[in-house]
């Protein structure tokens, strides 16, 4: 038991440090000064986002990209608040000319995938870019995608996402959790085994997506339009890349409290059993087992005096590994959080991870005012 636990933690250490090293090897220098050529269709589903739409539309109005080379599709997923009217009001106020507001046509079981499929009906060429309605967009966002496309001809490009920093405990937890996911996920692109990306900052070739029928194959899953699309495009042997630069980073909001965070994590975990990538499944199992071993080791240390050495060894190895991953992320994302925040989150994380994972094995979750079964 002891040596099995130690072996799992050592494998975890090797995997995390490997992906963190690969993240460090990205070229984060400024983009090249080449003329924009790529046509983009920005797809943004929204539901009950009256609070966030004004900021989103302001960001869209400030994008530094030739207007004739991009269009924006905002898809209203049956909002129950004043989102639709606010959307129209700010489009007029900001003089946005290349925007269409569409109604979700219920083309898939998953409302979000249905919203994207609704917009895709109007897109035949160029690249699709997806983000979320609660995000803030950098002005040179599309220029970085265009640079990557011109240089690599990639069919899918993933970009970095960071959380807006706030003061509550669980919001700080999400900042560090997302940062570690970004380091590992984007690092996997440089390891030639892309595992994870985030739909809040993702671009893909429209023709490639439609030829692979990627969305139709997973339209019944509530979540996962990003990872399932990545799996389909990578499995087809297409080129996938990541743009890792601070000026190409999307900012997103944290869940407001532990209850909302729990619902989000159950939703995320509900898609895991449908993954096709054995490496991604293996990594998920490895992370869960590592955290479970740490939780169990605490109980064993209380019961068995001789287990205390192993308890300390396992926890020190895990915390040191995670601290290195977070330090790599801090260097890139320039977070303002202190070492005390890092240590507290690292102590809490194994218990939170096991708790969220166990909840995901059954039951229900709520998202955007709707209830779903896992």
Highest mean pLDDT pick, 98-107, 191-200, 266-275, 330-339: 191-200
| pLDDT value of position 166 | 80
pLDDT in tens, 324-334: 999 999 999 98
- DSSP code at position 38: -
- DSSP code at position 249: P
pLDDT in tens, 15-58: 999 999 999 998 776 666 788 999 999 999 999 999 999 999 99
DSSP letter string, 122-141: T--SSEEEE--TT-B--TTH
* pTM recorded for the entire structure: 0.91
| pLDDT value of position 291 | 95
Q: Which pairing describes strands 161-163 and 99-103: parallel, antiparallel, or unpaired?
A: unpaired
| pLDDT value of position 110 | 73
Q: Are the CB atoms for 107 and 117 separated by under 8 Å?
A: yes
Q: In sequence order, what are the residues at sequence separation of 6 or more whose Cβ sits closer than 8 angstroms to the Cβ of residue 317?
A: 9, 10, 13
Q: In sequence order, what are the residues at sequence separation of 6 or more whose Cβ sits closer than 8 angstroms to the Cβ of residue 17?
A: 321, 324, 325
| pLDDT value of position 97 | 86
Phi-psi region of 144 (alpha: psi -120 to 50; beta: other; left: phi over 0): alpha
| pLDDT value of position 165 | 83
Token pair 């330090």 is at which residue?
A: 327
- DSSP code at position 101: E
Query: Of the candidates 235, 138, 126, 248, which has an alpha carbon nearest to the alpha carbon of residue 182?
Result: 248
pLDDT in tens, 184-201: 999 999 998 999 999 999
Query: Where does residue 259 rank: exposed (0-12), middle (13-18), buried (19+ CB within 10 A)?
Result: exposed
């Amino acid at each position: 038991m002891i040596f099995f636990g130690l072996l799992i933690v050592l494998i975890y250490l090797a995997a995390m440090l490997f992906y963190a090293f690969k993240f460090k090897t990205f070229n984060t220098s400024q983009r090249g000064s080449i003329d924009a050529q790529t046509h983009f269709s920005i797809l943004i589903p929204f539901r009950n986002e009256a609070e966030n739409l004004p900021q989103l539309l302001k960001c869209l109005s400030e994008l530094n990209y030739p207007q004739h080379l991009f269009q924006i599709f905002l898809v209203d997923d049956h909002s129950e608040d004043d989102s639709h009217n606010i959307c129209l009001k700010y489009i007029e106020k900001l003089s946005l000319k290349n925007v269409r507001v569409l109604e979700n046509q219920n083309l898939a079981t998953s409302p979000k995938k249905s919203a994207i499929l609704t917009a895709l009906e109007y897109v035949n060429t160029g690249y699709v870019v997806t983000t979320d309605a609660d995000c803030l967009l950098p002005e040179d966002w599309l220029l970085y995608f265009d640079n990557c496309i011109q240089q690599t001809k990639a069919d899918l490009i993933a970009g970095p996402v960071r959380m807006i920093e706030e003061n509550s405990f669980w919001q700080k937890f999400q900042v560090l959790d997302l940062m570690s996911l970004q380091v590992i996920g984007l690092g996997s692109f440089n390891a030639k085994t892309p595992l994870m990306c985030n739909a809040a900052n993702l671009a893909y070739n429209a023709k490639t997506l439609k030829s692979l029928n990627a969305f139709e194959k997973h339209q019944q899953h509530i979540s996962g339009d990003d990872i399932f699309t990545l799996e389909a495009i990578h499995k087809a042997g297409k080129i996938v890349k990541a743009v890792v630069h601070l000026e190409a980073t999307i900012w997103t909001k944290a869940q407001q409290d532990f209850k909302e965070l729990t619902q989000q994590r159950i939703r995320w975990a509900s898609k895991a059993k449908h993954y096709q990538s054995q490496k991604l499944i293996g990594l998920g199992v490895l992370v869960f087992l590592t955290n479970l071993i740490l939780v169990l080791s605490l109980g064993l240390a209380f019961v068995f005096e001789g287990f205390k050495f192993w308890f300390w060894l396992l926890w020190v190895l895990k915390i040191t590994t995670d601290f290195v991953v977070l330090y790599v992320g801090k260097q890139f994302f320039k977070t303002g959080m202190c070492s005390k925040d890092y240590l507290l989150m690292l102590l809490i994380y194994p218990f939170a991870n096991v708790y969220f994972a166990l909840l995901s094995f059954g039951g229900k979750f709520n998202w955007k005012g709707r209830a779903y079964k896992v």
